[in-house]
Amino acid sequence: MLIFQHPMYRNFKRFREIIRVFNKYGFALHHLVLFERWTFPPIPKQILANPPQLNLRMALEELGTTFIKIGQILSTRIDLLSEDYCQELKKLQDDTTPVPFEEIRDVVEQELKAKIEELFSEFDPNPIASASIAQVHRAVLKSGEKVAVKVQKPNIEKKVNADLEILSYIAGFSDRLKIFSENISFSELVAEFRKNLTREIDFLYESVNALKFRENFKEQEGIYIPQVFPRHSTRKVLVMELIEGVRLTRIHDCHIQGLDCQLLAERGALAVLKMIFEDGFFHADPHPGNIMVKEPDGELVFLDFGMVGAIDSETRVSIVKILLAALEKDASRVVAYIEEDILTVPIKSTVGLRLDLNEVLERYITADLKEMNLNNLVTDFFYILRKHNLKFPAHFVSILRALVVAEGTGMMLNPHFTIAPYLEKTLRKIFAHAMDYENVSKKAFHYLFDWKKLLEEFPGKGHEILTKLASGRFNIKFENKELEEIGKKIDSISNRVSLSIILAAFLIGSSLIYTNYQYLKSLSILGILGYIIAAFLGITLIFEMLRHR
């Protein structure tokens, strides 16, 4: 690779800024502590006095758009970060100063290939909201519909891609040095960030999601999804129906007449449960800021479809089994199901995990599910997973978090609301549907089809195996990944030992030559050359040890 094509060359100033900010807040890759008092690089006393989660939030805020979004994504990863980090990162503010209208006009006209006046009969130059990636303007289409126009700010895509390129480089370096826990791959995290951020800056992805949600909820009473106008939407411009209403964050300040908060909480919870367990396509962040109450009819309106999750029917059934077992306080079945269907790494101590889970389930699962706090249960559940170094797929974490957020949203409307009774009812309904005659017969048909294929192929395959056995041409290939890893480690250790012996030989030989023949110029130069070779071998050995530690 040519040096000018390297990401660190293209984005060197930004790379240096990222390292400087993380150093400033105490998150250097390595800090040298001297005499238990000083650090190098130096960290301000005020920063050292702060909790680390606060320093992380301030560092991400200072680094801007990409890192704020990454922090918001991390705040949802309760399987990776402890509760105090997640709560602190939720405070990250995405509100920013809007860019001048002329720049927004340029983006709209370039994307839609026409003048604003040709597309809209009205277009308010003052935004009604401004975030780090986009800002939203009121407008009226030529056909008369009132719309909200979401416009991506100039050069945002370029900045985000540059930051992600730098993070990918740092991630690869960090993983080689094993700076993080063995169960956390920084490269995998950055790949997830890239996927989420790439989708968030592509408004066509959001428009497709909105259309799908609108289709799924077209017959659901009390739930409304705004209309999308695909002809006026592109990767950087999204035109949706303008909703007149109140966000749930301000619902208690508006005193809407005839508002039934308990009914709204129930509708919101049932909508999220429908998304997850019936549709397999769900809003991954149903917090109060993303939900409105439409006036005057009081319907709940879901907004912002950039973060969504999707799961297939088989995974849904697996999750239903796990959650039902949890609600029945059956820790053994929970462990068996997650080990069989969900976990991406093996359980080291099944007994320890079962005992820890049993303690949590006994603590939180009550006879009256109306008294159960799902947030505390899920928080302790993921604490146990971190304790046992277990790793879950991101979609499973997203589902549990969506349920917790839905319960929190309901509690904002009614402080006594809990999602558990509605969750149990939905789970039993889905499980019963999976076990009904139509579904069971469909699965039975697929199994019979597979057996039919096996019975048809068995005689030919059996004859082929017997022929090879009779002729002595039957080979069995044995492959053990663990033995391969052990072999690689032994080779690595052998290379280090050999390099160390050669290094010691050069040092001793060079020292003998230099001390005994320092007045003979030709021989003393040979000793100095030996020192140089020894220094080079020493540096090579150190890097090799760091890279494979």
Active site residues: 285
Question: By CB neighbour count within 10 A (0-12 exposed, 13-18 middle, 19+ buried), where does 1 fall?
Answer: exposed
Q: Which 3 state secondary structure label does DSSP give 1?
A: coil
Q: Name the residue among 104, 124, 79, 34 with its Cα closest to residue 398.
A: 79
H helices present in 30-155, as ranges? 45-49, 52-63, 65-74, 83-89, 101-112, 116-119
For 509, phi then psi, to 5°, come to: -60, -45
d(CA 78, CA 84): 10
* Paired strand residues for 122: 140
Distances (CA, A) of 60 to 14, 72, 88, 179, 433: 14, 10, 12, 20, 46
Q: Which residue has 């909703």 as its token pair? A: 243
Q: Identity (one letter) of the amino acid at 42?
A: P
Residue 142, token pair as written in the block: 């030529």
Rounded to whole angstroms, the maximal C-alpha distance in the chain is: 103
Q: Running DSSP on this structure, what letter comes out for residue 225?
A: -
Q: Name the residue among 192, 145, 152 with its Cα closest to residue 168.
A: 192
State whether the Cα torsion 432-435-436-439 is positive or negative. Answer: positive
d(CA 62, CA 59): 5
d(CA 392, CA 380): 15
Q: Name the residue among 337, 336, 352 with its Cα closest to residue 389.
A: 352
